[in-house]
Amino acid sequence: MSSEPERRHLEVPAEAEGERIDRFLASQLENLSRSRIQALIKAGYVRNRRGTIEDPGLRVKPGDAFVVDLPPPEPAEPQPESIPLKVVWEDDDLIVIDKPADLVVHPAAGHASGTLVNALIAHCGESLSGIGGVQRPGIVHRLDKGTSGLLVVAKNDFAHQALAQQFASHGADGRLERAYLAFVWGQLDRPQGIIEAPLGRSTKDRTKMAVVREGFGRRAVTHYKVIETYPEAEGRAVAVSQVKAILETGRTHQIRVHFAHIGHPLLADTTYGSGFAASARKLSPEAQAALKALGRQALHATLLGFEHPRTGKKLRFESPLPPELAALRDALRGATDPRVLKRS
């Protein structure tokens, strides 16, 4: 990669009269956000015939000419690592990954390397034009290490800003669609419903989230539908339910906390469902073995839909259950097959 800045010459048209310079430049430099333009102005990378521009709020006039020096993205602090990725879509603006359950999304304490970000830096290479001036992928949403499934990542400021706006609305404007498949303990009261309970940090353990009193946390809403139920190995009582969960909001650990809150925690969720470990004894030996082999919460991001930040085209991706969750489902079905209590 060249260490020389890319130089852009821009002239103000009549229709842009009176615009702030940061807004005007952001409209002309399509891969840069307005905040990034403001940072470039403050760092002295924008000038006109009279000299360096220092005020991002300067009003432009028709015929004004500006020179913008775009410094090359700084090398990302995380180092590139050759980690296999299942790529389901990729273009110049974004990449969609089907993440395995054992992959951490972003470097953090205890996970300085071996993350999705490390893998993407290696995979995307020069196609990363930089987020905030740093050559790194733009993470707009995350999946827990123990959750598998679909995740979209931005390659440049333009895509990062546009995708972040969609995720901030959580689908309220119809652009974003997200659904998960989960296996939970027991039989839910209704075949479909809504869990609405505010979430905040647990006062007993700051690494965990918890349902909190109204006014003390953030609004959190999960819609669910029961897909299939599985009986105990001995008897007709429901031991496990497979549910489809659709997020109206996207809070940390939302699905896991919400189902634990209503008394149906996810299988193998040692953080929020440890009290149900003994329930495994009600399963067939085959299902117990599949559950033990799972080694992570039974949650998969199966559906992701959003509007492409540049073209406006609706993109929609689906991911089937990964092998370890499919093995669990098949073992649960096989306990008394064909007497699975419900399928849809």
* DSSP assignments along 142-192, one per residue: ---TT-EEEEEEESBHHHHHHHHHHHHHTTTTSS-EEEEEEEEES--SSSE
CA–CA separation, 197 and 212 (whole Å): 8
Alpha-carbon span 321 to 329, nearest angstrom? 9
Provide the whole-model pTM: 0.77
Structure tokens, 75: 């090398």
- Could you give the residue numbers annotated as active site? 144
User: Does the structural domain 6-72 have CATH classification 3.10.290.10?
Assistant: yes
CA distance 312 to 316: 13
Digitized pLDDT (tens) for each residue of the chain, 344 residues in all: 455 678 889 999 998 899 999 999 988 887 778 888 888 898 888 999 888 898 999 999 999 999 998 887 766 577 888 999 999 999 999 999 999 999 988 776 556 788 898 999 899 887 886 666 565 788 889 899 999 999 999 999 899 989 999 998 766 677 899 999 999 999 999 999 999 999 998 888 877 899 998 888 899 999 999 999 999 998 779 999 999 999 988 888 999 999 999 999 999 999 999 889 889 999 999 999 999 999 999 999 999 999 999 999 999 999 999 999 999 999 999 855 544 555 54
Amino acid (1-letter code) at residue 116: L
90: β partners: 95
How confident is the model at residue 50, as a pLDDT? 87
Does domain 75-169 fall under CATH 3.30.2350.10? My reply is yes
Alpha-carbon distance of 337 to 283, in angstroms, equals 13
Q: Which DSSP string corresponds to 55-109?
A: -TTPBP-TT-EEEEEEPPPEEPSSPP------EEEE-SSEEEEEE-TT--SS-BT
Q: What is the CATH number of domain 177-343?
A: 3.30.2350.10
The reply to whether 75-169 and 177-343 are identical in fold is yes
Domains in the chain: boundaries: 6-72, 75-169, 177-343
- What six digits make up the tokens of 5? 């800045």
Q: Which residues pair with 223 in a beta bridge?
A: 194, 246
- Integer CA distances (angstroms), 232 to 267, 288, 294, in order: 14, 11, 19
What pLDDT is attached to residue 339?
44
What are the CA-CA distances from residue 206 to residues 172, 200, 203 (Å)? 30, 10, 6
pLDDT of residue 216: 81
Could you tell me the sign of the dihedral formed by the alpha carbons of 241, 244, 247, 252, in that order?
positive
- Is the CB of residue 195 less than 8 Å from the CB of residue 335? no
Give 295's contacts (C-beta < 8 A, 6+ positions apart). Answer: 268, 324
Among residues 310, 338, 314, the alpha carbon closest in space to that of 30 is found at 310
Dihedrals phi, psi of 283, to nearest 5 degrees: -90, 165
φ, ψ for residue 200, nearest 5 deg: -155, 175
Supply the pLDDT for residue 313.
96
Q: Are 186 and 241 in contact, with CB atoms under 8 Å apart?
A: yes
